[in-house]
Amino acid sequence: MCEGHATEAVWSDAHFTMHTPVGGSLPGTVWVASTEHVDSFCDLSPAAAEAFGPMVARVERAILARGDVGRVHLYRWGDGGAHFHVWFLPRPLGMLEANGAMLPLWEDVLPNVTDDELLTAAREIADRMG
């Protein structure tokens, strides 16, 4: 992300920016990055750490409001990447086989939707964030 590999932010505040993935099969998937150049939760400034929980709750509520989501999964990957970010993946309503760690695997094997569909869903989420 620091080298400019991120999609344009669809939402931001003083501590975080929200982005769409490049390709994917689950509309409503977004990733949120710190505006601070840090690697992990423990490296966030006190202000960013304090803002993280309420921001996560707002993102989850906004994704759930789409109406076709059974649960929102939150993942943090980043081995080898030195910029803190987390992924929000919506588990489709009724898709119980995608519980837990299985959702990212399903996301990889399901057919991709268009980038426009991903962006439209992300903008809906951003609009609900305010």
Angle between helices 115-129 and 46-64 (to 10 degrees): 110
Cβ atoms 59, 32 nearer than 8 A? yes
pLDDT of residue 99: 83
User: Residue 67 falls within a domain, yes or no?
Assistant: yes
User: Residue 5 falls within a domain, yes or no?
Assistant: no
pLDDT tens-digit readout, 33-91? 999 999 888 999 999 999 999 999 999 999 999 999 999 999 987 766 668 899 999 99
Q: State what percent of residues in the chain have pLDDT above 70.
A: 92
Separation CA 59–CA 78 (nearest Å): 20
User: Residue 105 falls within a domain, yes or no?
Assistant: yes
User: Residue 3 falls within a domain, yes or no?
Assistant: no
CATH number at residue 86: 3.30.428.10
pLDDT of residue 52: 97
pLDDT tens-digit readout, 5-28? 668 999 999 999 999 999 999 999
Separation CA 90–CA 108 (nearest Å): 13
pLDDT of residue 96: 87
Task: Domain count for the chain, please give it.
Answer: 1
Of the pLDDT bands very low, low, confident and very high (cuts 50, 70, 90), residue 1 is very low
Supply the range of the domain harboring residue 59: 11-129
pLDDT of residue 80: 62
User: Residue 33 falls within a domain, yes or no?
Assistant: yes
User: Residue 1 falls within a domain, yes or no?
Assistant: no
Residues 105-120 have a mean pLDDT of 94
* pTM as predicted: 0.91
